[in-house]
Amino acid sequence: MRSNNMVAMILAGGRGTRLFDLTKKVAKPAVHFGGKYRIIDFPLSNCANSDVSTVGVLTQYESILLNAYVARDQNWGLDVKNGGVYVLTPREKDQADFEAFQGTADAITQNIDFLDSLDPEYVLILSGDHIYKMNYANMLGYHKVRNADATIAVLEVPLREASRFGIMNTNRNDRIVEFEEKPAKPKSNLASMGIYIFSYKLLRKYLVADAKNPNSSHDFGKDIIPMYLKDHKKLYAYRFRGYWKDVGTVDSLWEANMDLLKENSELDLGDPEWKIYTEDANALPQFIGKEANIDNCYITQGSVILGRVKNSVLGTNCRVEQGAKVYDSVIMPGVKVGEGAVVNRCIVADGVEIPPGAKVGDKNSEHITLVAE
């Protein structure tokens, strides 16, 4: 199914404060994942694999690296004649100074002229900070069959955890009848994934109306979706069955990396039928020393392993010296672990050097230790 009548808009402008120093200098979607990838590779690859060839990436905070990265649309096979990846930043308006995006809906509203120039029939709204593989063409087919005004992807979560999410309550045909933001007593377990397909002409009317409301927070979950429901528009839940994780915290980012190491992992990055594309790093092949000891690891090109590494993910151009031990950890690109050092249950940020003999992290801790400069 061709999806050229649908434009994707990836919201990639969040501060990512819960990732602390990992997002001190780079936007959250640009944070490394799985050794060689960045988080935003996932929605961009999903678009490429779903035949969605026109993608707008809306950036904001610490966006220089991210802007330069996503502008290389050939990385994902999106450098096509009638498409491509467009970097969309907050606008400076004639009547005002530079104005940051005020909310997820405002980010789209500020780019209505971009969408108008493309004249899409449908708009796909995505987040730039989730790890998952999803066929958006199938979701669009569902949207069309239901003749929906809006379709929202949902994930079934344990009912005891549902209060942490925006919850969609539906009738027996999966038409959404109520939306509750993090309800204390959830009525269902259908959690919004922050993935929406809207029929554009109608969405445009609601965005324009929302922009004129001084009391609005200009957010899809808090404002636009409730307006649709109030006006009895046709909203449907699209049930997604597969791996999905919001990697907005240090612990969740670590967990998603560790999921790669599980036997028969749901997040199979080696699946030839649904590739995750990324920048091809210019690095030498990995080198494993004769005294190295490696068990259940992802090790990216350019890495030199002379010590002990177990149940860990190592990024590009890492070095683990003789006598060093790395357990249950995520090592970002360019990290050096000194001779005799021990790293346990950590995320080590890009370029950090662990001194010889140092001990970081705690194998008995409930939470993951972030090691950054």
**pLDDT exceeds 70 at position 122:** yes
Work out the mean pLDDT of the chain and round it to a whole number: 91
Question: Is there a contact between 62 and 26 (Cβ–Cβ < 8 Å)?
Answer: yes
Q: Interior CA angle at 111 toward 95 and 45, to 5°?
A: 150
pTM for the model: 0.93
**pLDDT exceeds 70 at position 120:** yes
Instruction: Please tell me the distance from the alpha carbon of residue 129 to that of residue 31, in angstroms, as a whole number.
Output: 9
**pLDDT exceeds 60 at position 63:** yes
Instruction: Please tell me the distance from the alpha carbon of residue 297 to that of residue 305, in angstroms, as a whole number.
Output: 11
Average pLDDT over residues 111-138: 96
**pLDDT exceeds 50 at position 109:** yes
Three-state SS at 309:
strand
Predicted pLDDT at 287? 96
DSSP state of 292: -
Predicted pLDDT at 59? 85
Predicted pLDDT at 289? 96
> Hey, which residues does 179 pair with through a beta bridge?
168
Question: Is there a contact between 120 and 6 (Cβ–Cβ < 8 Å)?
Answer: yes
Predicted pLDDT at 70? 84
Give tens-digit pLDDT for 223-246: 999 999 999 999 999 999 999 999
Any idea which of 38-52, 66-80, 212-226 has the lowest mean pLDDT?
66-80
Instruction: Please tell me the distance from the alpha carbon of residue 340 to that of residue 344, in angstroms, as a whole number.
Output: 13
pLDDT tier for residue 125 given thresholds of 50, 70 and 90:
very high
Question: By C-alpha distance, which of 31, 76, 55 is closest to 124?
Answer: 55
pLDDT tier for residue 67 given thresholds of 50, 70 and 90:
confident
**pLDDT exceeds 90 at position 178:** yes
Predicted pLDDT at 95? 47
**pLDDT exceeds 60 at position 361:** yes
Question: Is there a contact between 36 and 281 (Cβ–Cβ < 8 Å)?
Answer: yes
Average pLDDT over residues 353-364: 96
Predicted pLDDT at 66? 85
Average pLDDT over residues 312-335: 97
**pLDDT exceeds 50 at position 359:** yes
Question: By C-alpha distance, which of 285, 357, 352 is closest to 322?
Answer: 357
Q: Which strand (E) or helix (H) includes residue 194? A: strand 190-199
Question: By C-alpha distance, which of 128, 119, 101, 104 is closest to 46?
Answer: 128
**pLDDT exceeds 90 at position 79:** no
Return the C-alpha torsion angle 206, 207, 212, 218, nearest 10.
110
Give tens-digit pLDDT for 254-311: 999 999 999 989 999 989 999 999 988 788 999 999 999 999 999 999 999 999 999 9
Predicted pLDDT at 60? 80
The per-residue b/e assignment along 338-363, b for 16 or more CB within 10 angstroms, e otherwise, is bebbbbbbbbbbbebebeeeeebbee
Percentage, residues of the chain above pLDDT 90: 76
pLDDT tier for residue 94 given thresholds of 50, 70 and 90:
very low
